[in-house]
Amino acid sequence: MATKRSVGDLKEADLKGKKVFVRVDLNVPLDENLKITDDTRVRAAVPTIEYLIQNGAKVILSSHLGRPKGVTAKYSLKPLVPRLSELLGVEVKMANDCIGEEVEKLVSELPDGGVLLLENVRFYREEEKNDPEFAKKLASLADLYVNDAFGTAHRAHASTEGVAKYLKPAVAGFLMQKELDYLVGAVSKPKRPFAAIVGGSKVSSKIGVIESLLEKVDLLLLGGGMIFTFYKAQGFSVGSSLVEEDKLDLATSLLEKAKSKGVTLLLPTDVVIANKFAADADSKVVPASSIPDGWMGLDIGPDSIKIFSEALDTTQTVIWNGPMGVFEFDKFAEGTETSAARGVTTIIGGGDSVAAVEKVGLADKMSHISTGGGASLELLEGKSLPGVLALNDA
Ligand SMILES: Nc1ncnc2c1ncn2[C@@H]1O[C@H](COP(=O)(O)OP(=O)(O)O)[C@@H](O)[C@H]1O
Ligand SMILES: O=C(OP(=O)(O)O)[C@H](O)COP(=O)(O)O
C-alpha cells in the first residue's frame, strides 16, 4: 500500500484552532459493569490525540463499540471518558450523539486543545452502509480528518472511509502508521517456518481469510469458535457449539486446499466442553469427534495443546488472531495461555486476543501487538484496507 500522509506532517500552523475529526478504535472489551477490562486500544490512541492537543487543535473523537443494532445503552462510549481523560490529562467532553445540532453546539464550544468524544457511530445504520449523506454530516463537523483506527481500517464505513471524501486533508494517525510500517514489513518477508493461528468467535468474517493464508503460511492452526464449522463439515456431532451453517462447504474446500498446497493445517483433536456458556459450567475433555448433544466446545483440549505447542516450537514467525477458547472464563483459558507463549516473532492482533495475552501476562513476550485482528489478517492476505486507501498519499 502507498505511503500515506501523516498527522505528523501537519504542524501548528495547520492545526491551531482547527476542528479535527479523528476516527479512533475504542472498541474495547467491557465487563458486565461496563468496566474496561483491557485498555490497550485506548492507550494506543493517545499519541495522535496528544499531538493534536499540543498543536492547539479542537479534537473530535469518533469510534464504534461492539456491533449494536440501533441505540443500545450497553454499547455507549460513555464508560471510555474517565480513562481517556486520565490518560490525556484533560477533561474529555462527551456528546450524546455523533451528528446533529447538540453535537454542533458542543463542537463550537470546544476550546483550542479541547477534546470531545462523539457517541457510538454505529448507533446509525448508515455508518456500516457507508451512506454518503451520513458521511457528509460527520464531515461537516470538522475542518480536517485523521484516521487512527487501524483496527477498523478493513471496514469501508462512513466514519472510516466515506468521510475522507468530504474532508481534506485526510491523513493517517500515528498508530495507523506504526501498524502499517510494522505489519507490511513483517508479513511481506516473514522468517520461515511461518505459522498462523486463527481462533475467536468472528467465524464468518475470518474463515474467508484462511483461504489466502494458505497461500502464505507453512502451518495453520485453528482453534476457538472457528473449529466447529470444520468438524461439522467432516460429519462430526458438535452439540451446541458455535457453527456457521452456511460456511460448511467452504470449510471442506479449505481442508482440501491445504492438502493440495502442502500446508500443515492442524485442527484440535480434543476439546474442553461445557454444559452452558458460563464461568461455573460443568466441563470435561472429549475427542473432537464426539461432542454430546447439549454440550458446547469452549477450549482446545490437552492433547491438542501438546500438538500445537510442538508444532509452534519449530516456527520462526507466528501471526495470531483470535483466542483458542473462551479465555474470559478461567476453566477455558488454558489453550489460549499455552499457545500464546510460542514462536520467535509473534505478531498478535485483535481486541480480545490482546486482552487474552495481557490477562496471562505474556504481552511483553510478543514482538508486535497489533490493535487490529481482522485488519492485520487482511493486510497479511495482501488486501488493501479501505480506511487507508481513502487517505491522501504522502
Ligand atoms: N469455542 C468458542 N466458542 C465461543 N466463543 C469463543 C470460543 N473460543 C473463543 N471464543 C471467544 O472469541 C472471542 C474473541 O473473538 P474475536 O473477536 O474473533 O477475536 P479478536 O477480538 O481477538 O479478533 C472471545 O471473547 C472468546 O471468548
Ligand atoms: O475489534 C475489531 O476487530 P477485531 O476483533 O478483528 O480486532 C474492530 O474494532 C472492528 O470491529 P468489527 O469487526 O465489529 O467491525
pLDDT digits (tens, 9 = 90+) for 99-126: 999 999 999 999 999 999 999 999 999 9
Q: How far apart are alpha carbons 360 and 333 in whole angstroms?
A: 9
Quote the ligand 1 centre to 119 CA distance (angstroms).
25
Q: Does 364 have pLDDT greater than 90?
A: no
Vertex 104: Cα angle to 100 and 109 (nearest 5):
155
CA gap 243, 337 in Å, rounded? 24
Confidence of residue 343 (pLDDT cuts 50, 70, 90): low
Pocket flag, ligand 1, residue 351 (CB < 6 Å): yes
Write the pLDDT tens digit of every residue in 176-226: 999 998 888 777 778 899 999 999 998 888 887 888 889 889 999 999 999
The 10s digit of each residue's pLDDT in 344-358 is 667 888 778 888 888
Residue 229 has pLDDT above 80, yes or no: yes
Residue 301 CB less than 6 A away from ligand 1: no
Distance CA(320)–CA(328), nearest Å, equals 18
pLDDT at 268 over 70: yes
Query: Is omega for the bond preceding 169 within 30 degrees of 0, making it cis?
Result: yes
Locus of grid cell 468521510: 163
Asked if 41 is an active-site residue, the reply is yes
Q: How far is CA 100 from the centre of its chain?
A: 29
DSSP 282: -
Enumerate the H helices of the chain as residue ranges: 12-15, 40-54, 81-88, 101-108, 125-129, 132-139, 174-188, 203-216, 227-233, 248-261, 302-313, 334-340, 351-359, 374-380, 386-389
pLDDT band at residue 377 using 50, 70 and 90 as cut-offs? confident
Q: What is the pLDDT of residue 272?
A: 98
HEC profile for 117-131? Answer: ECCCHHHCHHHHHCC
More confident residue, 199 or 381: 199
Write down the pLDDT at residue 127: 98
Question: Hey, how many other C-beta atoms are within 10 angstroms of the C-beta on 55?
Answer: 20
Binding residues: 25-27, 41, 64-67, 122, 155, 206, 328, 350-353
Residue 202 CA: nearest ligand 1 atom is: 18
Which of 270, 277, 284 is closest to 329 using CA atoms? 277
Q: To which residue does cell 498446497 refer? A: 261
Task: Yes or no: say if 134 and 158 are a contact pair by the CB < 8 Å rule.
Answer: yes
321 pLDDT above the threshold of 90: no
Among 26, 201, 273, name the best residue to mutate to test ligand 1's pocket (greatest count of ligand atoms within 8 A of Cβ): 201
Look at residue 356 in the predicted model and tell me its pLDDT.
87
Angle between helix 351-359 and helix 40-54 axes, rounded to 10 deg: 110
Active-site hit among 4, 18, 23, 41: 41
pTM of structure: 0.84
Pocket of ligand 1 contains residue 325 by CB under 6 Å: yes
**Residue 271 parent element (H or E):** strand 270-274
202 has catalytic annotation? yes
H-helix or E-strand spanning residue 60: strand 58-62
Spell out which residues line ligand 2, taking CB within 6 angstroms. Answer: 25, 27, 67, 151-152, 155, 350-351, 372-374
The predicted complex's ipTM stands at 0.89
State how far Cα 103 lies from the chain centre: 28
Ligand 2 mean position to 190 CA, how many Å? Answer: 24
Catalytic: which of 297, 325, 351, 373?
351
